[in-house]
Structure 1
Amino acid sequence: MVDFEDKVAYFQAVTGLEDRDLCTEILAAHNWDLDLAIISFSSDSSSSNNPTNPNPNEFVDNSNIESSGQLNLNSWEGLDRSELTRHEDSESTVAIPATAAPAPAPGLAWKLITLPISVVSGSLGLISGAIGLGVWVATGVLSRSLGLLGLVSGSARNGDASASTPLVSLSAAASEAFDFVAAFERDYGTIRPNFVTEGFMDSLQQSRQAYKMLFVYLHSPDHPDTPVFCEQSLCSEALAAYINENFVSWGGSIRASEGFKMSNSLKASRYPFCAVVMAATNQRIALLQQIEGPKSPEQMLAILQRVVEESAPVLVTARLDAEERRNNLRLREEQDAAYRAALEADQARERQRKEEQDRLEREAAEAERKLKEEEEARERAACEAAEKEAALARRRQEKAISLGAEPEKGPNVTQVLVRFPTGERKERRFHSTATIQTLYDYVDSLDCLNAEKYNLVSNFPRVVYSVEKRSMSLKEAGLHPQASLFVEVES
């Protein structure tokens, strides 16, 4: 016992912490390894005091905790890695004011005195780490070799469900939260707050999205009041049901890294320790309530009910604002959809109108083209008819000239009568030595027949004077001294 008291006093002297119970908890969390506890505390303090804060998942040191009882309506939006804002009341312990200075660092003389111890402990730590690494590598190689040879049993290879490695790799904070929930359920049963198996910041994000506060429980396994508080208060059916209904819960052991950091950030001085937090403005976290020391289920329920009643207007307003934003967004989306539909309908109508206009223009152009073709055809036909008529007139004139003058009556002159299909008759005298072709030329010279293909035919006897007979003279053809012929048009 004397050794433990000396270690506590030595730890207080080195770290400057005045709370003896907190120093005891820190040493117990490090298995009363004084050097390890001092190194862990010093590294946590240096990393949290760094103004640049390179790790966004870490909280700032306790000197940044402010006292604030105000909740901003906009505090429920835009949460990022944050500092802590503390809100205290009569139920919780006295808060450290915002102007409180951090614990003084050890003096130079004390650092010089403890320097050999730190060097020796650091060397021993490196040696032990190297030995442990070698053992771990040798064990892994041996296990792998035995597994390949089939010498390891199925249970040893596969492991239990609780000890098996998850298929999906988890972050360090999520892994610690998962281990805490499994250990808590194993020790105290399934009637408990539904702790989120994720890191603190992810749990806070879930509470923000659910418009609820975050219930935080820091578990101290070595504290004498912890088992009774967990069994009788935290795991009571009424309290667990109320917490699950009104809060998002997160728990962590102070033996784990994130639980230890949260105990420093929340300045946990007595255990069991519970707190209620929510997102605040300026990337901070509002500490609405902290509950330190053992409490009965009734006391816990009364405190949490009061916090819920005080914070309900903020949560309701935030939820209503979010619903209004969602409704406005949905309304805008509906309006945009309606506008797009109307625009598409207008575009479709415009396309139809344009297509109809193009069709009408094409039809009009086609009709105009056909009309123009018809006019050109009529003009060509008229030209052809005029040319044909002119050709006929020239031919008639040429035929009339070729006939010469009509001979006078005489013994060698033949009188020829020609009847046309129209009933018209023409009569003329020819020399008996003239050929049948001369009769055709005579018919062609008259303006009584428009057909080009025809034959001269005699009735009694019927003789058709075709092309092969046109070279015969009238006398040879038996048409002298007179003949009566009619024109027979070829079909």
Structure 2
Amino acid sequence: MVEPDDKLAYFQAVTGLEDRNLCTEILEAHGWDLESAVSTMTEEANASSSALAENSDSTNLARNLDSTNMVGNFNSTSSHWEGVDGSDAQNHQIVPNPAAPGLVWKLVTLPFSVVRGGFGLLSGVVGFGMWVAGGVLSHSFNVIGWGPGQGQSDGNQNAPLVSLSSGAAEAVSFIAGFEREYGEFHPAFQRAGFMEALQTSREEFKLLFVYLHSPEHPNTMGFCQDTLCSEVVVDFVNQNFVTWGGNVRASEGFKMSNSLKASTFPFCAVVMPATNQRIALLQQVEGPKTPTELLEVLQRVVEESGAVLAAARIEEEERRHNRRLREEQDAAYQAALEADQARERERQAEAERLQREAAEAERRRKEQEEAMARAAQEAAEREAALERRRQEKAMALGVEPEKGSDVTQVLVRFPNGERKERRFYSSAMIQSLYDYVDSLNCLNVEKYSLVTNFPRVVYGPDKFALSLREAGLHPQASLYVQVEDA
């Protein structure tokens, strides 16, 4: 079920009417039957066009539009067509611009079957061509996206056109048939559908030269051989136009023939893209023409549109330059941002490295402090143990005896040169000598031996049970301490 708002939008797109209230009234009068409303508008438009064609002076319609006027009107930002009042526009009459006489042009609504492949619009509404109100050529450039400021306010107007595969196939078939009949020297027909050719003309800032081929028409062969394929025409068309050709016996060529109201063949037209699914018809050439006659018409169109196309090209180049400049600035900003981010990552990595090193140094310091504390504690414990042993040994020795016949005088020399003397009972054991050394604060080792020099005798554990007399140390003895390896 299509909503009223969608029907209203479709109706506006098909008819070209901008007055929503008027479109709403028309649709309501037809019970919101979109096809019926469009058919009525088509019939009225065709009747209006026929009446205008009968009452208009054909000579005045062919007068050239002064190029100065075209450029002067190019920068217009008016939302209404210049030279067309509201009633004429709503009645779909084609009105020449009275203020600036010259090339008369028309807006043509393309068949939906043609546009659908280029714009992706809905199908199944009505496939028809329709003349809509006209105006001056200079204003049309603003509407179609070649004027200043276009492409910024309405993205749909500058949406890219997509080639229609069936249209492209027909174009290739037309070119192949044309070359079989007339040879390979001819205008450079686009091997693409009409919409893609139209997009190419927009991109190259050229007008689109359209040739509709009617094989059965008696004037077709002479026109193609003598005029269309003549060297002067081919060179001029290839240099100044994008060219598209279609066979009226094929689908797209037939639809374009209906849209352009081609009634006499051979038929040529010069068009340019307009808003939505419409094109602007700038010039049409019907019937047989000599190369000179065709060139005169085409040269006039080129001269009248040249200034505007040049201005549009310059403006587009400026837009591209500005866009490229913005892209370069964005790229430079992005590069600077990435460099800053890289430096920040390096700074963070360096900070993390320093933090890890500091943490590692702190860990080693704590381990060292703990090791030193353990060593100090162990040394203190050893010292305390030695002190306890010294006290125990001193207590075990008892009181030093006085000199007497049964008393032995013993001298002990330590590795540091210190000497100690004490008297012992001759009956005291060798073990008593070791207890005496241990009680002194002169030696901080546990393994040592007491040795005499002459004769050299080591009084080790095997002699601990001997008395001093039995060991031959009475009445006096001189011993030195020999520290043993751990």
In structure 1, the residue matched to 2:135 is 68
Cα distance in 2 for partners of 1:335, 1:368 equals 48
Q: Match of 1:392, SS?
A: helix
The answer for the alignment partner of 2:81 in structure 1 is none
Residue correspondence of structure 1 range 75-86 to structure 2 within 5 A? 75-76=144-145, 78=157
Closer, same or farther in 2 for the Cα pair 1:408/1:266, shift >3 Å? closer
- Please tell me whether the aligned partners of residues 458 and 464 of structure 1 are also in contact (alpha carbons under 8 angstroms): yes
Residue 308 of structure 1 deviates from its aligned partner by 0.7
Q: Which amino acid aligns with 1:68?
A: G
Q: Secondary structure at the match of 1:417?
A: strand
Change (3 A) 1:382 1:256: closer
Whether the 8 Å CA contact 1:81–1:201 is kept in 2: the answer is: no
Question: Hey, what's the Cα distance between the residues in 2 that align with 1:482 and 1:75?
Answer: 134
Structure scoring higher RCO (CA < 8 A, sep ≥ 6) equals 1
Question: TM-score scaled by structure 2?
Answer: 0.67
Tell me by how many angstroms 1:354 deviates: 1.5
Check the 8 A contact 1:216/1:251 in 2, yes or no.
yes
Structure 2 counterpart of 1:459: 453
Contact map agreement 2:206 2:242 (CA 8 A) in 1: yes
Deviation at 1:433, TM superposition (A): 1.7
Quote the residue 1:155 is aligned against. Answer: none
Q: CA deviation at 1:452?
A: 2.2
Within the alignment, does 1:325 sit opposite 2:319 as a pair?
Answer: yes
Runs of 4+ in 1 over 6 A off after TM superposition: 79-82
Local SS of the residue matching 2:386:
helix
On the 8 A contact 1:414/1:431 being kept in 2, the answer is yes
Residue 88 of structure 2: aligned partner: none
Structure with the greater alpha carbon radius of gyration: 1
User: What's 1:44 paired with?
Assistant: none
Report SS of the residue matched to 1:224. coil
Counterparts in 2 of 1:317 and 1:419: CA distance versus 1, 3 Å: same
**1:204 aligned counterpart, secondary structure:** helix
1:474 pairs with one of 462, 468, 475: 468
Match of 1:365 among 359, 362, 367: 359
Q: Give the direction of change, closer, same or farther, for the CA distance of 1:452–1:72 in structure 2 (3 Å limit).
A: same
SS of match in other structure, 1:72: helix
Q: Does 1:267 align with 2:261?
A: yes
CA distance in 2, matches of 1:345, 1:240: 56
Work out the CA distance in 2 between the residues paired with 1:258 and 1:246: 24
Identify if the C-alpha distance between structure 1 residues 383 and 252 changes in structure 2 by more than 3 Å, giving closer, same or farther.
closer
Distance apart, 1:422 and its partner CA = 3.4
User: 1:442 maps to what in 2?
Assistant: 436
Q: CA shift at 1:54, angstroms? A: 5.7
Q: What residue is the counterpart of 1:249 in the other structure?
A: 243
Please give the residue correspondences for 1:175-324 in structure 2 after superposition, counting only pairs within 5 Å.
Answer: 175-324=169-318
| Same amino acid, percent of matched pairs | 63
Alpha-carbon distance, 1:395 to partner = 1.4
Q: CA deviation at 1:228?
A: 2.2
2:280 maps to amino acid: A
Q: TM-score, normalised by structure 1?
A: 0.66
List per-residue Cα deviations over 1:307-342 (Å, max 9, x = no partner).
011111232233223322322222222222211211
Distance 2:268 2:356 in 1: 84
Residue 221 of structure 1, CA deviation: 2.8
Task: Give the conservation status (yes or no) of the 8 Å contact 2:128–2:258.
Answer: no
Aligned-partner Cα distance in 1 for 2:480–2:393: 19
The count of corresponding residues between Structure 1 and Structure 2 is 359
Distance 1:48 1:435 in 2: 132
* Counterpart residue number, 1:382: 376
Question: Residues 341-378 of structure 1: CA distance to partner in whole angstroms, max 9, x if unpaired?
Answer: 11111111111112222222222223333333333333
The secondary structure found in structure 2 opposite 1:391 is helix
Q: Contact 2:129–2:260 at 8 Å: present in 1 too?
A: no
- Which residue identity lines up with residue 384 of structure 1 in the other structure? E
The question of whether the paired residues in 1 share the 8 Å contact of 2:411 and 2:422 is answered with yes
Contact 1:225–1:271 (8 Å) recurs in 2: yes
| Counterpart code for 1:230 | C
Provide the rounded CA distance (Å) in 2 between the counterparts of 1:424 and 1:380: 31
Please state whether the residue corresponding to 2:305 is helix, strand or coil: helix
CA RMSD of aligned residues (A): 3.1
Residues 66 and 473 of structure 1, relative CA distance in 2, 3 Å threshold = same
Q: Which amino acid aligns with 1:445?
A: S
Unpaired runs of 5+ in structure 1?
1-15, 19-46, 83-169
Structure 1 partner of 2:385: 391
2:444 partner letter: N
Q: Distance in 1 between matches of 2:372 and 2:192?
A: 95
Q: Report the more deviating stretch, 448-457 or 344-353.
A: 448-457
CA distance in 2, matches of 1:417, 1:54: 126
* Cα gap change, 1:298 to 1:454, in 2 (>3 Å): same
Question: Contact 1:57/1:81 (CA < 8 Å) preserved in 2?
Answer: no
Matches within 5 A, 1:92-107: none
Pick closer, same or farther for the CA change 1:403–1:245 going to 2, 3 Å: same
Cross-structure match for 1:431 = 425
Query: In the aligned structure 1, how far is the partner of 2:394 from the partner of 2:197?
Result: 125
**Alpha carbons 1:218, 1:252 under 8 Å: kept:** yes
Q: How does 1:103-118 map to 2 (within 5 A)?
A: none
Letter in 2 for 1:60: F
